Structure 1
Amino acid sequence: MPKQTAPVKKNETITLTFEDLTHEGNGVGKINGYPLFVPNALPGEEAKIKVVKVNKNYGFGKLLELTKESPERVEPACDVHCNGCGLQHMSYRLQLEMKQNHVKNAMKKIAHLENIPIHPIIGMENPLNYRNKVQIPVGERDGQLITGFYQKRSHRIIENTDTCITHNDVINEVVKAVRDIANRLGIGAYNEEKHRGVLRHIMVRTGQATNEIMVVLVTRTEKLPNKDVLVEELTKAFPNMKSIMQNINDKRTNVILGRKTKLLWGEEYIYDRIGGLTFAISAKSFYQVNPVQTKVLYDKALEYAQIGGNDVVIDAYCGIGTIALFLAQQAKKVYGVEVVPEAISDAKKNAKLNGITNAEFFVGEAEKVMPWWKAQGLKPDVVVVDPPRKGCDEALLKAMTDMQPKRIVYVSCNPSTLARDLRILEDGGYDTQEVQPVDMFPMTGHVECVSQIVKKEAGTD
């Protein structure tokens, strides 16, 4: 049989009509059934493209010139190509439609769940300036400090991109101020090739409800030149500054934060409020970056949990206790488990801060702690999971089904791994009732989901 070849060649220029979008937002067009994926192209558009990569079953192209434009195309609010906000060229309506389709396709193709209700995605009234946290690299050019995000697929800083459309305005102002003050004080930037210099990253966190500001200066060296003057100028410029920290990362690594963090000024925490609860946020805390949609997400998780006053609940990725403390307001008892010791310390602090006494938090891997709890006779009515993008460990899914809770609430930031795990739970005696997508990260391809899962009744398939 003759070897099948692609109908296009690398570096060839062709005209292509686009008919679909990938879940990352790339346009999809076909030549004789052979799909080509092209960034910045929209369904219904026609364009001249250059073929940049050819695989056996699909290829990639680069948009050269639009010959027919979609009515869903909009002028991007930002012309920086850092790849952080890759959906700016499409209307917000189309962004939401694309994400909804991604969830539906994952449920159908991976979970094999075609008949469950997938509710319309909950979007934002204002899909800009929503982020309450940034970690931005620092470099040097012509003897001056520069800040900015890395160019797509590189470690070249796009200079002074300090007005990102997804950050709240205060964050943009603080990053610029730190850079300008440090530059004036002669605090040199870190050079990753030579592993020299001082300032590696600037992290800024804000509390939406409190307007409090935290700055974390990530440095290679423990010594930070002119730190007292830097602190004085920052606190004078920003009356809401509550915390200035230094994190020392002396390793040759792409990991942003090092192990040691010390207080330069103020407190070690800033505070924020969600739905009547107050949370202390430290430099290393995991805290959702979109506070408006976090409230939407947690309200839905609480609704799906259907907690009664006698219910015992396990939160298997509890972080600093955000979801667990919401649940504790209605439950008899909540047990939280998290592998990061600092997060558990914060969770205990947050429980105390809110006067919540029916929540206990433990350090450990949920898949190991839960079987131990089961052996001790703990029988949860509800289990809540909010895992990282890779989804739940298979051992954790087994630990959950072994404990036989009446309901499971699965909060996910990755529809593909959510669908994979739902299939396992379905095969383990549970039914997926409904899925609610939430747009936590407008202008990006990411989508969050909350799923309600219930134990099958005896005798049902």
Structure 2
Amino acid sequence: MAEQAQPISSVDDTCANSQAKEQNQMHSDQEQHDHYSYTKREEFTSEIFKIEIYNLPFYLGFVELKKLLKKLDLQPIKVKLIPRATFAFVTFGSEAERQKALKAIDGYNWKKKVLQAKLAKPVVDPIAKKRNAAGNDGTTGDVDSEQNKKRAKTLNILDVVIPLWDKSYDQQLKIKKNNLDRILRKCTSKLEAIKVPEINNYRNKCEFAIGQDSKDEVVISVRAGIAVGFRLGSYREGNLSVVPPTDCANVPEEAKAIAKAMQSLIQQSSLPVYSFVDHTGYWRQICVRRNLLGQLMAIVQLHPQDLSEDQLQSLKDEINRCLEKCDCQVVSVYLQKQTTRSSAGNAGSVYEIISGSKYLYEDFLGMKFRISPSSFFQGNTLAAEVLYRNIRDWCPTKATTVVLDICCGTGTIGILMAKNVNRVIGIEMVEDAIEDARVNAELNDIKNIEFICGKAEDKLPTLVDNLSVISEVIAIVDPPRAGLHTRVIKALRRSLFIKKLIYVSCNPAMAVTNFVELCSPRTNRLRGQPFKIMKALAVDLFPYTEQCELVLQFER
């Protein structure tokens, strides 16, 4: 029987009154607690115009839900499907669109289910909730409730940044192996954890937050309490306190020196620190990148707000003078103007060179690589050499082999492989990284490599179809922490000419769904011949932390 909309009794006058009461109650809660004040600002947030859809089929896929919304002529801004649950949250761009969705979905017959929809309240702002609990007026930095104050006293910057600081290196490796063993127990019983050459001062990229210090004693001046370092918590936890990286063994001394110098500058500056609560202020973040020669790139992230060009120029001069006094090789200084609320990714970012070279260069396994301010490069260079040597050893050196380097970043893996294979194709969504990758290929006189800019889930399906005549294709994937998009998994499974797949994961716990989908038997959703795991290897790119780089070799 064809699916069709049924009479919707839940959107009659009674339901309208119920929805109005729910909205009024929401507004009342906002006025009373001010936990939702962020929804009243001019900028859009995905927490407004949100509905909840429930009574969904248990094994529902994200793509299927998107198709349903499109079929109902709905245009959502954001869709969040709760895995293996029967409900989802969907956000729209206006109240009119939200009401249209409620009427279209509530009572709709789909996959032998009668769907239900209702208004969804936005999530509580954790910082506002915390301040309200503490009776704080919100005019200064974080003020903990008594419970949070007790908890804060137990926090240690080392526990946050390098939680295994009090363990010997052999104990660290054992913890990592045990964690990964638990993840892989259903897939393999053999796992080796490999040591790396250097466990101290290894971070070649450090992103320092700017905010209020978490010292228990009352500071005489609010500006004197400003720190540049790492956060003890997160916005979600209601804790934005920042502690300098002085004792963190993984942070190079040069990066600590820059953090200290910039902390002094910001404390003396008349410009306030950026507030993630009300999105006012200027100073946001300091990023320091370093190569093996000890050369540094400093990137100062700022929200320009209403600063004039003259004021910005004066600020650039101050930053230059500050970094010139550091006893280290600062060869590149950037101002990153960030105009969006999130600091994740490069959306809303403009990088402006203030002084020195535009790029850093790194010698890596006998080759030279260019690094831009925003491009990805493995955070522990010497350990990454160990990682990539093992990946290279796992790949056959046949002249007929084609390598697909998926999520290729600045092209490191593909360039290292290129001289031993017929052809390499790299896919990456960050334009700056693709530009660096092409330059890196030229720097190393690599001719048999090409780079495609775009999302892997968009480019791979067409690409693998064009490669179907190739007899031997090896795919190497090194995705972000969340893992590969489902469309990429589907494309890999149906590409039967891919006999071998090497998966590099920096967060195996989040990527385990990918591992299961690659190995699962055929279904209507997952077609094509499944893979099986043949090898597993752990390389310790992050000493003193529980994180570890996992490499899996899949074969048909």
TM-score by length of 1: 0.75
User: How far apart in 1 are the matches of 2:244 and 2:514?
Assistant: 41
2:183 counterpart (74, 96, 106): 106
Aligned partners of 2:245 and 2:251 also within 8 Å: no
Counterpart residue identity of residue 102, structure 1: N
Contact conserved, 2:361 with 2:370, CA < 8 A, in 1? yes
Per residue, is there more strand in 1 or in 2? 1
- Does residue 231 of structure 1 match 2:320? yes
Give yes or no for contact 1:437–1:448 (8 Å, CA) kept in 2.
Answer: yes
- Partner residue, 1:165: 249
Structure 2: how far apart are the matches of 1:329 and 1:173?
A: 40
Q: 1:328 deviation in Å?
A: 0.9
**Counterpart residue identity of residue 376, structure 1:** N
Which residue of 2 is the match for residue 397 of structure 1? 489
Indicate how the Cα distance of structure 1 residues 358 and 238 shifts in structure 2: closer, same or farther if over 3 A, else same.
Answer: farther
Q: Separation in 2 of the partners of 1:180 and 1:274?
A: 35
Identity of aligned residues (%): 27
**2:174 aligned residue (80, 87, 97):** 97
CA shift for structure 1 position 265: 0.9
User: How far is 1:185 from its partner?
Assistant: 5.5
Q: Kindly report the root-mean-square deviation, in angstroms, between the aligned alpha carbons of the 2 structures.
A: 2.5
State the 1:436 CA deviation: 0.6
Other-structure match for 1:409: 502
Query: Counterpart of 1:215?
Result: 298
Distance 1:160 1:369, change over 3 A: closer
Q: Does 1:135 align with 2:224?
A: no
Q: Corresponding residue for 1:363?
A: 453
Map 1:170-189 to 2 at 5 A: 170-184=254-268, 186=270, 188-189=272-273
Where do residues 62-101 of structure 1 align in structure 2 (5 Å cutoff)?
Answer: 79-80=156-157, 83-101=160-178
CA distance in 1, matches of 2:546, 2:243: 24
CA distance change for structure 1 residues 423 and 446 in 2, over 3 Å: closer, same or farther?
Answer: same
* Distance of 1:437 and 1:400 partners within structure 2: 23
Structure 1 Cα separation of the partners of residues 283 and 341 of structure 2: 14
Structure 2: distance between partners of 1:201 and 1:431: 43
Question: In the alignment, which of 229, 246, 260 is matched to residue 350 of structure 2?
Answer: 260
Match among 227, 231, 236 for residue 150 of structure 1: 231
The Cα of 1:361 is off from its aligned counterpart by: 0.2
Change in CA separation of 1:159 and 1:167 when aligned onto 2, cut-off 3 Å: closer
1:421 and 2:514 aligned? yes
Cα offset, 1:160, TM superposition: 3.2
Say whether 1:276 aligns with 2:377: no
Q: Counterpart of 2:544 in 1: which secondary structure?
A: coil
**Aligned mates of 1:260, 1:175 — CA distance in 2:** 22
1:123 and 1:328 mapped to 2: Cα distance?
Answer: 27
Superposed CA deviations along residues 424-447 of structure 1, whole A, max 9, x for unmatched, are 333433332110111111121211
| C-alpha distance in structure 2 between counterparts of 1:233 and 1:252, whole Å | 27
What is the DSSP-based 3-state SS (H/G/I as helix, E as strand, rest coil) of the residue aligned with 2:447? Answer: coil
Distance 1:190 1:417 in 2: 31
Give yes or no for contact 1:300–1:450 (8 Å, CA) kept in 2.
no
- 2-side partners of 1:323 and 1:91: how far apart? 31
* Gap change, CA 1:206 and 1:154, over 3 Å in 2: farther
Take 2:230 and 2:370, find their aligned partners in 1: how far apart are those partners? 28
Aligned residues: 374
Q: Which runs of 5+ in 2 are unaligned?
A: 1-149, 213-220, 522-528
Q: TM-score, normalised by structure 2?
A: 0.63
User: Which residue of 348, 366, 387 maps to 2:479?
Assistant: 387
State the distance in 2 between where 1:316 and 1:252 align. 29
The 1:79–1:355 alpha-carbon spacing in structure 2 relative to 1, beyond 3 Å, is: same
Gapped regions of structure 1 (runs ≥ 5): 1-63, 65-77, 456-461
Larger fraction in helix: 2
Aligned partner letter, 2:507: N
8 Å CA contact 2:164, 2:172 repeated in 1: yes
Can you list the C-alpha shifts for 1:93-132, whole angstroms capped at 9, x where unaligned? 2221121122222122xxx2245x322x012354222111
Contact 1:162 1:173 in 2 (8 A): no
Following TM superposition, where does structure 1 have runs of at least 4 consecutive aligned residues deviating by more than 6 angstroms? none
Aligned residues of 2:231 and 2:240 also touching (Cα < 8 A):
yes
Residue 375 of structure 1 is matched in structure 2 by 465
Q: Is the 8 A contact 2:301 2:337 kept in 1?
A: yes
The answer on whether the counterparts of 1:137 and 1:157 sit within 8 Å (CA) in structure 2 is no
Q: Return closer, same or farther for 1:395/1:235 CA change in 2, 3 Å cut-off.
A: same
Structure 1 CA distance, aligned partners of 2:383 and 2:467? 37
- Between the aligned partners of 1:397 and 1:253, the Cα distance in structure 2 is 29
